[in-house]
A = this chain, B = another copy of it.
Amino acid sequence: MTKLSGGARTKDEATSVNRREQILEAAVVVFAEHGYFKATTAQVAEKVGISQPYIFKLFKNKEELFVAALDRAFDRTIRTFTEVKASGEELLRESIRVYEQMMETHPSEIILQVQALGIRDEAIRRSMQTGMHRVTSLMESKFTAAGIAHPEVEVSTFMANGMLCHIAMALEMPNLKPKHLE
């Protein structure tokens, strides 16, 4: 086997870095399906194909695992919106488009964000706060750079409709989705 440093090994090899990723991927799905408290670390482990205790070698506790999964979801959100290259008028339309795309490709991460809204846990709330702040700030700078008239108001409306969309999905109420999207 070739000598390799760090995490740059082949994909199916079990480095702890790979395991972390696998666990996170499973955790997002399990947490989204059952909710933070009902989901068990055993379910996550089973999905990955490892033993339940091993999760605690890579994550300090269940809370930290959830926070890491949540951060992952926000990372994707940020990345998705960052990649939007559109100017002026089209920025809003294009942002909505990629958002809707993300709802289809990564529904569990959306559900996770909705769940985190209601969890009263300190660490999770902080993670949620910074996540929301990151998205808001990003959109504000993009809207401003695009020369949109009242960026603050537009971003606020964008976030409001985005959250209503999230909620419609989490509650399985398609009729609740923002109306002017069509």
Interface set of A (CB-CB < 8 Å, partner B): 33-38, 114-121, 125, 128-129, 132-133, 136, 152-153, 155-157, 159-161, 163-164, 167, 170-173, 175-176, 178-180
Contact = CB atoms under 8 A, between A and B. Distances in A.
Contacts of A161: 157, 160
Main secondary structure of the interface of A (DSSP, over half): helix
Contacts of A132: 167, 171, 173, 176
B173 A164 contact: no
Given A156-B180, A164-B156, A171 B35 contact: no
A164 B157 CA distance: 9
For the complex formed by this chain, how many copies does it contain in all?
2
Closest 10 CB pairs of A and B: A115-B118, A37-B37, A156-B179, A160-B160, A160-B164, A35-B120, A118-B118, A153-B179, A160-B161, A152-B179
A112 B139 CA distance: 29
A91 B115 CA distance: 32
A132 B116 CA distance: 19
A120 to B, nearest CB: 4
